[in-house]
Chain A
Amino acid sequence: MTNSLTTQKLIDAVEQADSSAKLLEAVQNLATAASVETVPILIAALGYNNPGAAVAAVDGLIQIGEPAVLPLLQLIDDFNYGARAWAIRALAGIGDPRGLETLLEAAENDFALSVRRGAARGLGIVKWHQMIPEQLSDAQQKAFEVLIKASKDPEWVVRYAASVGLEGLAESLTERQSQLAAQIFAQLEHLQINDVELSVRSRVHLALEKLRSQTPVEILRKLQDNNTSESEKVSRGAGRR
């Protein structure tokens, strides 16, 4: 009871804010409370064109987690692209598999690069273990294909995000998925040599270093062997559409 009274006060403070500094502070306080009742207000704050408030609101929504997923999914289409980018970041940060379709669609087709990059990163941090096991392998394959496409985006920052996403996806794979792992390694190795942007190549370099340090030697060796035979498959997957 006291809790929701306090929450109401925090909500009132957001509604009464009459300067962008006050709004920022009010949203920050509301986000810190991370209470389920604040979800609609935090989502609304994504659309105020106040970057500080939006950052705070995204953090709050990620904290709240699962209960924020459906409201975000329901509202996402109505948003202008600025707010949509923030909503995608919130969904990405929560990592709930129910957001997967939205992330896939956004990473592949959104016209705004800020949305594509947020979604590409999000594809690397999905909580795959919450997914029905029968759907898992198809879903990860689809995420892989979309990330491959994102890794060829004309915007450097989307390709950067795709390499972060590929790293995350590779980390989530089990030993039984060595074929997909090999495909990810092959794509990262390709990007490390061929991307035109030094910063993208550097991020790919970091991804490969991290993945190699986490992967047991015998699997790495197996991947190495796979790479030669799998490389054709990679380009086929990438060429779809």
Chain B
Amino acid sequence: MEKLNKQKIPTNDNLLIVVESINHINAIVKAILSMDSSLENIDSPSNGESLTIESAIANLNGTDLGLRFYAAWWLGRFRVNEPQAVSSLIKALADEDDRTPEGGYPLRRNAARALGKLSDITAVAPLITCLQSSDFYVREAAAESLGMLGDSTAISPLTQLLEHGLENGVLVATQPDTKEPYDAILEALGALKAVDTIPLIQPFLQHPIERNQYSAARAMYQLTGEVEYGDRLIKALAGNDLQLRRSALADLGAIGYIAAADAIAQTLAENSLKLISLKGLLEKQVSPLTPTLSSDAIKVMNLMDLLL
């Protein structure tokens, strides 16, 4: 038995306790992929003090950096869609007090992530400004949130950022290009139904970083509805790398690709992530208005039951 202990893989599982939505898995997958330590606070709300809306807003506007950081996350997590929360978070996008040794802006990152969840379009313009931030993770969070807010004015600035990876319409021929958060940008363009950007997205299907290929496939599926792109993500579920399987789960859930149902249930990954992915499929199958359940919807639920 002693020997077996060495099999234990270092655990990221504490990050998975409160995974509750596709966007949340995206954040976690990215945290795992990028080992962005500022995201560790995502793990469990029980680690933090319990806040009220008033105290969260007060903390965000206070001076304690830890409390500000946590409050920004909390307001997003509990979707506190109140004008005062939104305006305080927008103000936090320009914070200068909270800095990492490398020059990053932890509070700006969390504020940008939170604003994506509050569906208030007054955040769109300030988030577009964040796409110019010197901090990669601020750009990433802003791109992701702009995709969630669904305002088409974000398409052009996102496209400009994507073009940093292209030269005359082909991928820049350097080593794996990590200049920009291409995955978040591609996903946002897909969510924003930016069909004009298809020719710019397509090259990223060959990007040397697999995660970016998946994001391109996800966006291409959303923009064209062609099954080859969904099928590419199904293939990714059979890959060797757990983190890439996790991210394919998130992508398939986001596009609600029904043909992936069995592959999702069978892939080697945490049931929590499979359930969230299948939830994305299910919600595409049931509209609040349809009074009957389709056979596909029932099939997805039967798969979900077995994963509980």
Contacts and interface: CB of A to CB of B under 8 A. Distances in A.
A49 interface: yes
B11 A82 contact: yes
B308 A17 contact: no
Contacts of B276: 157
Of A16, A51, A82, which is in contact with the most chain B CB atoms at under 10 Å from its CB? A51
Contact of A49 (B9, B268, B279): B9
Given A82-B11, A113-B18, A121 B4 contact: no
B9 A50 contact: yes
Contact of B301 (A50, A121, A206): A206
Given A113-B18, A164-B308, A198 B4 contact: no
B17 A113 contact: yes
B8 A48 contact: yes
Contacts of A44: 1, 4
B308 A198 contact: no
A20 B301 contact: no
B94 interface: no
Contact of A121 (B16, B17, B20, B305): B305
A15 interface: yes
Contacts of B269: 51
B46 interface: yes
A48 B46 contact: no
B175 interface: no
Contacts of A164: 305, 308
B297 interface: yes
A51 B270 contact: yes
A49 B10 CA distance: 8
B1 A15 contact: yes
A17 B7 CA distance: 8
B200 interface: no
A49 B8 contact: yes
Contacts, number: 84
A199 interface: yes
Nearest to A114: B272
Q: Classify the secondary structure of A's interface with B.
A: helix
A136 B88 CA distance: 55
Of B269, B270, B271, B275, which is in contact with the most chain A CB atoms at under 10 Å from its CB? B271
Contacts of A209: 293
Contacts of B4: 14-15, 17, 23, 44, 48
B283 A198 contact: yes
B286 A202 contact: yes
Contacts of A66: none
B282 interface: yes
Contact of A50 (B7, B272, B297, B298): B7
Of B269, B275, B304, B305, which is in contact with the most chain A CB atoms at under 10 Å from its CB? B305
Report, as a range, how many residues of chain B touch the other chain.
Answer: 20 to 34
Contact of B279 (A20, A23, A113, A199): A199
A160 interface: yes
Contacts of B293: 202, 205-206, 209
B179 interface: no
A156 interface: yes
A61 to B, nearest CB: 16
A117 B13 contact: no
B20 A49 contact: no
A102 B4 CA distance: 28
B119 to A, nearest CB: 15
Interface in A1-34: 14-17, 20, 23-24
Contacts of A180: none
A118 interface: yes
B272 to A, nearest CB: 6
A51 B286 CA distance: 30
Given A206-B293, A206-B301, A52 B308 contact: no
B288 interface: yes
A205 B44 CA distance: 31
Contact of B308 (A48, A112, A160): A160
Interface of A: 14-17, 20, 23-24, 44, 47-52, 81-82, 111-114, 117-118, 120-121, 155-157, 160-161, 164, 198-199, 202-203, 205-206, 209
11 contacts: A16-B3, A17-B7, A24-B268, A47-B8, A49-B13, A51-B269, A52-B268, A82-B13, A121-B308, A164-B308, A199-B286
Q: Give the 8 A-B residue pairs with the shortest CB-CB distance, closest first.
A: A121-B308, A52-B268, A161-B308, A202-B286, A199-B279, A199-B282, A117-B308, A82-B13
Given A114-B16, A199-B279, A209-B293, 6 more contacts: A14-B4, A17-B7, A198-B286, A202-B293, A203-B301, A203-B304
